[in-house]
């Protein structure tokens, strides 16, 4: 069986790529919980004073950690699964919020302890990690353009630009130097548009299937 995680910066098309791969592999797709996430709009729209008082960033990371842990546990015990972002990337988002002062050192210590405990549980499963991360990489201009195009009102505030830029600036470094759960296939999203160009979608599926074949990952 193959388990693929799709990672990358906000707005670059993880859900679209995950859905495309799910259809190609006839597999279940675990999409990131956005529409049913009660904390996410508050995280984006709260004032600095509200964030400090109500600790929305910490609560949001706990929410994501819990939902991503549930998803990857299911994915690792079933055939051919695709995850739209995974528990491995969650740490990076939490760390950026620490840098911004939105999550305290004490909160981050609690978060890391819980995440480590979850990882230990994953290590007990017959399949312990994904086979491949499909990492969507793009310029900051592409990120901002696509965030705008998808039209989620709570993502549009200009005050969020610094947050997006800090996330974007360190993402490549995290993937290349800190992510070690699986092999990585980098996709240049400045040149790839699977939504509007069918040839790009076909190319991406072909690239991923070829990489899995070279890795001797069984798809059936």
Residues 176-196 pLDDT 10s: 999 999 999 999 999 999 999
pTM: 0.89
Q: Which CATH number goes with the domain that contains 88?
A: 3.40.50.300
The count of structural domains within the chain is 1
The answer as to whether 143 is a domain residue is yes
Residues 187, 9 contacting (CB under 8 angstroms) = no
The answer as to whether 184 is a domain residue is yes
**Distance set, CA 147 to CA 5, 13, 157, 158 (Å):** 21, 9, 11, 12
Integer Cα distance of 219 and 91 in angstroms:
29
| Residue 16, domain extent | 3-214
**Distance set, CA 139 to CA 16, 85, 166, 171, 172 (Å):** 18, 19, 13, 11, 11
Mean pLDDT of 45-74: 89
DSSP letter assigned to residue 83: E
> What pLDDT score was predicted for residue 220?
59
Q: What is the pLDDT of residues 4-36, one digit of tens each?
A: 999 999 989 999 999 999 999 899 899 876 667
DSSP letter assigned to residue 189: T
The answer as to whether 39 is a domain residue is yes
The answer as to whether 34 is a domain residue is yes
Q: What is the pLDDT of residues 78-100, one digit of tens each?
A: 766 999 988 999 999 999 999 99
The answer as to whether 152 is a domain residue is yes
Q: Is 193 a catalytic residue?
A: no
> What pLDDT score was predicted for residue 182?
96
The answer as to whether 135 is a domain residue is yes
The answer as to whether 220 is a domain residue is no
Identified catalytic residue from 35, 36, 79, 84: 84
Of 154 and 17, the one with more pLDDT: 17
Residues 190, 139 contacting (CB under 8 angstroms) = yes
- Average pLDDT value over all residues in the chain: 90
The answer as to whether 187 is a domain residue is yes
Integer Cα distance of 211 and 152 in angstroms:
34
Q: What is the pLDDT of residues 115-132, one digit of tens each?
A: 999 999 999 998 999 999
CA angle 76, 78, 83 (to 5 degrees): 55
């Amino acid at each position: 069986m193959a388990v693929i995680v799709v990672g990358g910066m906000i707005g670059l098309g993880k859900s679209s790529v995950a859905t495309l791969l799910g259809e190609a592999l006839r597999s279940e797709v675990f999409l990131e919980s956005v529409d049913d996430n009660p904390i996410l709009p508050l995280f984006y729209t709260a004032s600095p004073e509200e964030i400090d008082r109500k600790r929305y960033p910490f609560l949001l990371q706990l929410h994501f950690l819990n939902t991503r842990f549930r998803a990857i546990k299911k994915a690792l015990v079933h055939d051919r699964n695709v995850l739209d972002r995974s528990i491995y990337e969650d740490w990076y988002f939490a760390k950026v919020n620490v840098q911004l002062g939105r999550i305290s050192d004490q909160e981050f210590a609690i978060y890391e302890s819980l995440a480590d405990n979850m990882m230990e549980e994953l290590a007990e499963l017959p399949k312990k990690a994904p086979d491949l991360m499909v990492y969507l990489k793009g310029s900051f201009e592409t990120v901002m353009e696509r965030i705008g195009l998808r039209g989620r009102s709570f993502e549009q505030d200009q005050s969020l630009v610094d947050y997006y830029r800090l996330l974007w600036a360190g993402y490549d470094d995290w993937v290349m130097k800190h992510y070690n759960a699986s092999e990585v296939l980098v996709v240049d999203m400045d040149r790839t548009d699977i939504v509007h160009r069918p040839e790009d979608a076909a190319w991406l599926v072909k690239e991923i299937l070829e990489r899995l074949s070279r890795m001797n990952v069984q798809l059936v």
